[in-house]
Amino acid sequence: MNQMTAFCGLICSECDAYIATQNDDDAKRAEVARQWSQQYNVEMKPADINCDGCLSDSDRLIGHCQVCEIRKCGKEKGVENCAICDDYACEKLEGFFKMVPDARKHLDAIRSER
């Protein structure tokens, strides 16, 4: 499976929901639903665990990715991910990076390779 980096710098292809979906693995979906239900204190069912990744045009996206402003912006600008954007790192990203500093490291690395 090729690596898919979301607009925000998360690595979709390492996400358990993405992996379960791409492998059509119902046992993995059930495992992820149990784990995330406990971790995020929200009831999730195996049927909720379907995601084709941030960059896809599919309607199958997990949780916040369905309404993510960073994803919406990246799609509108037609960039591969935010590291490629002329406005990197914008205010939306800076707020996200406070929660997920590894995403910044990943995008910084991509940007430095350009």
Q: Is position 6 within any domain? A: no
Q: Is position 4 within any domain? A: no
Q: Tens digit of pLDDT per residue, the chain (114 long)?
A: 578 999 999 999 999 999 999 999 999 999 999 999 999 899 999 999 999 999 999 989 988 888 999 999 999 999 999 999 999 999 999 999 999 999 999 999 999 987
Domains contained in the chain, number: 1
Q: Is position 2 within any domain? A: no
Q: Is position 5 within any domain? A: no
Q: What pLDDT score was predicted for residue 109?
A: 95
Q: What pLDDT score was predicted for residue 1?
A: 57
Q: What pLDDT score was predicted for residue 30?
A: 97
Domain housing 77 = 12-112
Q: Is position 1 within any domain? A: no
- SS3 of the chain: the string is CCCCECCCCCEHHHCHHHHHHHCCCHHHHHHHHHHHHHHHCCCCCHHHCCCCCCCCCCCCCCHHHHCCHHHHHHHHHCCCCHHHCCCCCCHHHHHHHHHCHHHHHHHHHHHHCC
Q: What pLDDT score was predicted for residue 24?
A: 97
